[in-house]
Structure formats: structure tokens, C-alpha cells
Amino acid sequence: MTQHTKTETGAETTRHQGAAAGGAIAASIILLTVGLLSIFQGIAAIAKDDLLVVGYNYTYQFDVSTWGWVHLVVGVLLLLAGIGLWSGATWARLVAIVVASLSIIANFLWLPYYPLWAILIIAVDLVVIWAVSTWDPARV
């Protein structure tokens, strides 16, 4: 049972934790979704690596199949973190933050291949990190 205090800061804390708790549930759903999409993205890059158009010279340029494997592995890790977070496991919070950070790095390096998609996934990963890191289950 949550106790509400009469102070403004106490009320704000309760509202903040409620939003973060809802955000953590949403984060697990988002992690599952982004994980599946990353797996599909990886499979598409591995199966048909002429599907993606690469610009001229890029500093972090790898073969598209290599990027496919990177996205496939990150996607599986995102799925596992999402399942753990959905089940309420304590370890899943740290794993979700680490894997979302890896996803941010991978998608930053993926920018020349699919810029709008990479920016969207980076933004979603930032929301996941915020929701998971600010949620305190004891205060809900």
C-alpha cells in the first residue's frame, strides 16, 4: 500500500514513481518489440546483403552481413532482457540498461545504412533506459 504525503514533493515523488513503474512495464514490451525487430533486421542483412544501400566511405564500415550478425545478437539479448524485465527479475534491470546501451551504440554505427530507423531505435532505447533506471519498486 502506498502512503501519500501532504507535501508537494511527496506527491511528485509518488507520481514520478507511478510513471516510472508504468514506463518499466512499457520498457519490457518495447524491449521485446525492438529485440524482434533487430532480429528481423539482422536476418535481412545476413540473408540478402545487397538489400541495404551503403553510402560512400564510412569510418566504421563493415560488410553488411557482419552488421546483420551484430543486430541479430543484440536482438536476442534485447529479447532476453525484455523477458526478464517482464517477469520482474532484479537482474533484468541492469541487463536491460546495458543491452539498451549496446543497442544505442550499434544503431549509431548503423546510421549510414538506415538513418531514420537507427535514430528511432536510439530514441526508444533512451526511453527504456530512463524508465528502467528511475523505477523504484519499493516506492510504488
pLDDT in tens, the chain (140 residues): 444 444 455 554 555 555 555 666 787 888 898 899 889 888 888 886 555 555 566 656 667 788 889 989 999 999 999 898 888 777 888 999 999 999 999 889 888 878 888 899 899 889 888 888 876 665 55
CA dihedral 4→94→23→14, nearest 10 degrees, is 10
Is residue 72 a contact partner of residue 35, using CB atoms and an 8 Å limit?
Answer: no
